[in-house]
């Protein structure tokens, strides 16, 4: 709903008000300045005429005894009409007017003294018979240089005012034209602004800004907006936190704020697609980058950022638990079948065969004892036994390398267990899903080597799967990179990225190579578990 004046009306009123006020002030200043300038020009003009006429030889000869009755009046009138002066009066030394615009005053004496007899030119304001005027009196000198009269030239105040009014009226005409142009410009400006603001009125823009601020800072997801040139124009606090750019300013290019990474590639659009996953040092993020079109024109992009760190961890834990449960179920089923076979053999009296068969049942116990004799941390032993069962369920043999030794039971095995679980799972998947292993029993092997030195624990996980191509070795730790088929509800391509982040977080190293299959080597610094 629109409230109050429209944007066009507000701009029109504002422009008209500014132009009118400016014109009024300008007119007053121009009128005053014009009046002063016109007075000065009138005085200069009168002085120039008076001095010129006084210097004419004919005038001096007429005053000293020439033809004052016809020559002087005709000459003075001609000069007055040509110079646009209101009067040119020639006065002799006795104060008698020898010429005047009013013929009845020719021959009459002036009331004031003949001031130019002192040889100087006098200027001033004269209240004469024709009215108030700008008056100049210049001395008439004879051949010997003595003053013999004066020439009085004046421009009436009414004439000066008329000239001033003409100049001011010209300014008013220009001001009126400027006012018309201002109206046209205001309408054009209003239309341009409405086009830029997509036809929204000020009240609607204010409401949108308020709603946007409330939305941006009231949601739990990160939101950032980019203009058509990739510069920030929207950024909420959650986006600052998740992207770790607390000092980012609106207007900055996003490429200047982010280092080279999968995250930056998604933000700038080099990597496209829905629900793109990026791993940072602290978070696992899911991003969507959508174009924005307003009024049929591209306005930039909006990127939403969801923190899936805890959710992804829970999903992976659930997946691991599900796999372990299935493995235990399979193991329980296997042992039930074997016990049933053993029972039947005893019932049939096949004691020798039953003894041989029971020896096979002790293989699992022997495996556990063998692992515990070489690996001290119980959580690592439990993980290896669990992964052995998981591998057996998928017809993959998981075994501990005989050279493995990890004798310090107080080593903090938390990062080691997490890293080893991910690497072994990836190796089992690679072997079980290898097309070359179809029809083969077992499908392949996964071998785990654990060794220790004074300061480091070394883990090697190798498999007999298809391995990793040399040209892909540098990409396996990039979040989003995967060669596995998609799985509903589960983000692919982040397992090794998470492992890499975890290894880097404890100042370790991880490398990948290829032998008969993939080989991943991890070196972790020894960390002693703190007592509870």
Mean pLDDT on 399-418 = 81
Is a pLDDT exceeding 80 seen at residue 136?
yes
* Mean model confidence pLDDT for the chain: 78
Pick the closest to residue 513 from 476, 484, 458 (CA basis): 476
Is a pLDDT exceeding 50 seen at residue 490?
no
Is a pLDDT exceeding 60 seen at residue 484?
no
Residue 459 pLDDT grade (very low, low, confident, very high; cuts 50, 70, 90) = very high
- The CA-atom distances, in angstroms, between 390 and each of 321, 324, 361, 363, 404 are 11, 7, 18, 17, 21
Is a pLDDT exceeding 70 seen at residue 68?
no
Question: Strand, coil or helix: what is 349?
Answer: coil
Alpha-carbon distance 242 to 349, whole Å?
70
pLDDT of residue 268: 83
Query: Is 237 or 31 the better-scoring residue by pLDDT?
Result: 237
Pick the closest to residue 468 from 433, 516, 510, 501 (CA basis): 516
Is a pLDDT exceeding 60 seen at residue 282?
yes
pLDDT of residue 523: 92
Residue 489 pLDDT grade (very low, low, confident, very high; cuts 50, 70, 90) = very low
pLDDT of residue 204: 72
Range of lowest pLDDT (279-293, 369-383, 407-421): 407-421
Is a pLDDT exceeding 80 seen at residue 513?
yes
Q: How many CB atoms lie within 10 A of CB 64?
A: 17
Mean pLDDT on 167-181 = 75
pLDDT of residue 164: 66
Residue 361 pLDDT grade (very low, low, confident, very high; cuts 50, 70, 90) = low
Contacts of 81 (CB under 8 A, 6+ apart): none
Q: How many CB atoms lie within 10 A of CB 69?
A: 12
Pick the closest to residue 375 from 453, 449, 445 (CA basis): 449
DSSP state of 486: P
Pick the closest to residue 451 from 390, 355, 524 (CA basis): 524
Question: Angle formed by the axes of helices 363-374 and 378-393, to 10°?
Answer: 140
Q: Cα 472–477–483 angle (5° rounding)?
A: 55
Mean pLDDT on 121-145 = 79
Mean pLDDT on 350-359 = 77
Query: Is 530 or 150 the better-scoring residue by pLDDT?
Result: 150
pLDDT of residue 323: 59
Mean pLDDT on 261-287 = 80
pLDDT of residue 532: 45
Tokens 């040209």 — which residue?
471
pTM for the model stands at 0.49
Range of lowest pLDDT (20-34, 127-141, 266-280, 312-326): 312-326
Alpha-carbon distance 417 to 252, whole Å?
42
Range of lowest pLDDT (153-157, 242-246, 313-317, 346-350): 313-317
Judge whether 240 and 233 are in contact, CB under 8 Å.
Answer: no
Is a pLDDT exceeding 60 seen at residue 64?
yes
Give all strands of the β-sheet with 297-307 in edge-to-edge order. Answer: 232-235, 222-226, 297-307, 284-294, 276-279
pLDDT of residue 522: 92
Question: Strand, coil or helix: what is 12?
Answer: helix
Contacts of 401 (CB under 8 A, 6+ apart): 447, 448, 449, 450, 460
Pick the closest to residue 194 from 14, 7, 10, 1 (CA basis): 7
Mean pLDDT on 64-68 = 64
What are the contacts of 484-492 at 24+ separation with CB within 8 A?
484/429, 484/433, 489/315, 490/315, 490/319, 491/275, 491/277, 491/286, 491/308, 491/312
Contacts of 41 (CB under 8 A, 6+ apart): none
Is a pLDDT exceeding 60 seen at residue 3?
no
Tokens of residue 87, six digits: 């009067």
> How many Å is the maximal CA-CA distance in the chain?
180
Judge whether 139 and 63 are in contact, CB under 8 Å.
Answer: no
Pick the closest to residue 270 from 283, 279, 260 (CA basis): 260
């Amino acid at each position: 709903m629109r409230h109050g004046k429209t944007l066009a009306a507000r701009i029109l009123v504002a422009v008209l008000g500014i132009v009118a006020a400016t014109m009024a002030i300008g007119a007053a200043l121009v009128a005053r300045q014009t009046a002063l300038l016109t007075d000065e020009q009138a005085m200069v003009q009168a002085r120039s005429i008076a001095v010129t006429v006084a210097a004419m030889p004919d005038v001096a000869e007429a005053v000293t005894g020439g033809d004052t009755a016809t020559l002087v009046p005709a000459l003075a009138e001609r000069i007055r009409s040509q110079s646009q002066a209101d009067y040119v009066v020639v006065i002799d030394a006795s104060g008698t007017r020898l010429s005047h615009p009013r013929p009845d005053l020719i021959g009459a004496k002036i009331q004031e003294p003949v001031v130019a007899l002192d040889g100087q030119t006098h200027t001033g304001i004269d209240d004469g018979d024709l009215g108030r005027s700008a008056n100049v009196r210049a001395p008439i000198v004879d051949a010997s240089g003595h003053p013999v009269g004066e020439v009085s030239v004046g421009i009436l105040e009414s004439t000066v005012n008329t000239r001033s009014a003409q100049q001011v009226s010209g300014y008013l005409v220009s001001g009126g034209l400027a006012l018309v142009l201002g109206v046209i410009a205001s309408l054009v400006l209003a239309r341009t602004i409405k086009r830029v603001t997509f036809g929204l009125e000020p009240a609607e823009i204010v409401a949108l800004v308020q709603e946007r601020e409330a939305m941006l800072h009231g949601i739990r997801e990160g939101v950032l907006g980019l203009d058509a040139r990739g510069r920030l124009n929207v950024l909420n606090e959650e986006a600052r936190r998740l992207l770790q750019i607390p000092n980012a300013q609106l207007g900055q290019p996003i490429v200047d704020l982010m280092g080279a990474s999968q995250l930056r590639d998604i933000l700038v659009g080099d990597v496209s697609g829905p629900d793109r996953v990026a791993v940072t040092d602290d978070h696992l993020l899911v991003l969507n980058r959508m174009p924005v079109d307003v009024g049929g024109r591209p306005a930039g992009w909006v990127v939403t950022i969801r923190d899936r760190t805890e959710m992804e961890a829970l999903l992976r834990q659930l997946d691991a638990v599900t796999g372990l449960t299935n493995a235990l179920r399979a193991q329980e089923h296997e042992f039930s079948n074997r016990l049933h076979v053993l029972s039947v053999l005893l019932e049939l009296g096949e004691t020798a065969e039953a003894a041989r068969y029971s020896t096979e049942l002790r293989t699992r116990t022997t495996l556990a004892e063998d692992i515990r004799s070489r690996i001290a941390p119980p959580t690592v032993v439990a993980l290896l036994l669990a992964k052995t069962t998981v591998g057996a369920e998928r017809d993959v043999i998981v075994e501990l390398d005989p050279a493995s030794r990890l004798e310090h039971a107080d080593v903090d095995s938390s990062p080691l267990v997490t890293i080893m679980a991910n690497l072994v799972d990836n190796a089992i998947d690679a072997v079980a899903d290898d097309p070359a292993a179809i029809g083969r029993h077992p499908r392949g092997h996964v071998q785990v080597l654990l060794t220790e030195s004074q300061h480091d624990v070394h883990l090697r996980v190798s498999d007999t799967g298809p391995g990793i191509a040399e040209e892909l070795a540098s990409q396996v730790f990039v979040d989003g990179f995967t060669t596995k088929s998609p799985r509903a509800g589960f983000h692919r391509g982040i397992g090794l990225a998470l492992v890499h982040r975890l290894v880097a977080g404890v100042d370790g190293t991880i490398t990948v190579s290829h032998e008969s299959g993939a080989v991943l080597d991890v070196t972790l610094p020894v960390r002693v578990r703190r007592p509870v």
